[in-house]
Amino acid sequence: MSIHLGDEAPNFTADTTEGEIDFHEWKKDSWAMLFSHPADFTPVCTTELGRTAQMKDEFAKRNTKVLALSVDDVASHEGWAPDIGEVGGTELNFPIIADPDKKVAELYDMIHPGEGDTSTVRSVFIIDPANKVRLTLTYPKSVGRNFDELLRVVGALQLTDSAPVATPADWTQGEKVIVSPGMSTEDAKERFGADKVEEVKPYLRWTDDPS
């Protein structure tokens, strides 16, 4: 199946390195980042999961749980975990789904046709507390993901949910944001403060990060 932005994230039950989970129940009122990797004991994946372990607290500050997946089994994940800790400098501190029957991978369309095998590509799904898919990304197997960018996206989504603003190119937390095109300049000045709104073009108005 093809998953689009705004769709409800499909629910599933699966074995993980932290026991069996029901995905919707596990994430409950939190945001979640569900991401797949091609296989255990592979170099790019080891660096990616190590980086995620380093950043778990930063995701937690944003009410976001992280959950990885590959088509290997729990025993393989557990055998690989020490390597992740050694390479990344932080012990594995989040669950990895075991998906040897590819049930979850197929549910989320994580198998890349034409790659010559049945392992998952580097898919990412950011899912909000209402279980709606808010972002999807797919990287080829040879390219590691930028987890600072994924954290940035979570922050941007949460900010734009909380206020009538959008984030510009390369935005990071604390920088100026764009007033929503659906809001007039006068309404923006009333909302954010007359001295806090800068009109560059009628359709491009800056204001301070309201968070």
Phi, psi of 125 (to 5 degrees): -130, 120
Other CB atoms within 10 Å distance of the CB of residue 6: 8
CATH code: domain 163-207 is 3.30.1020.10
DSSP classification of residue 211: -
- Do domains 13-145 and 163-207 share one topology? The answer is no
Q: Report residue 133 as tokens.
A: 């898919």
Q: Which residues 6+ apart lie within 8 Å of 5 measured at CB?
A: 133, 134, 135, 136
* Marked catalytic residue, from 9, 34, 45, 177: 45
Question: Is 111 a residue whose pLDDT tops 90?
Answer: no
Per-residue pLDDT band at 159 (split at 50, 70, 90): very high
Is residue 40 within 8 Å of residue 76, measured between CB atoms? yes
Question: Cβ contacts of residue 121 below 8 Å, gap of 6+?
Answer: 36, 38, 110, 111, 112, 115, 138, 139, 140, 141
Residue among 59, 64, 31, 207 nearest 133 (CA):
31
pLDDT band (50, 70, 90) for residue 122: confident
Q: Which two tokens stand for residue 116?
A: 């010559």
Query: Per residue in 75-105, pLDDT tens?
Result: 999 999 999 999 999 999 999 999 999 999 9
Alpha-carbon torsion, ordered 37, 83, 94, 77, to 10 deg: 60
Average pLDDT, the chain: 94
- Domain spans of the chain, in order of start: 13-145, 163-207
Per-residue pLDDT for 121 more than 80? no
pTM comes to 0.92
Provide φ and ψ at 11, rounded to 5°. -85, 160
* β-bridge partners, 120: 111
* Sign of the Cα pseudo-torsion (62, 28, 123, 160, in order): negative
Interacting residues of 21 by C-beta distance below 8 A, sequence separation 6+ = 13, 14, 95, 97
Report the share of the chain in percent with pLDDT over 90: 87
Q: Catalytic: 17?
A: no
CATH architecture of 13-145: 3-Layer(aba) Sandwich (3.40)
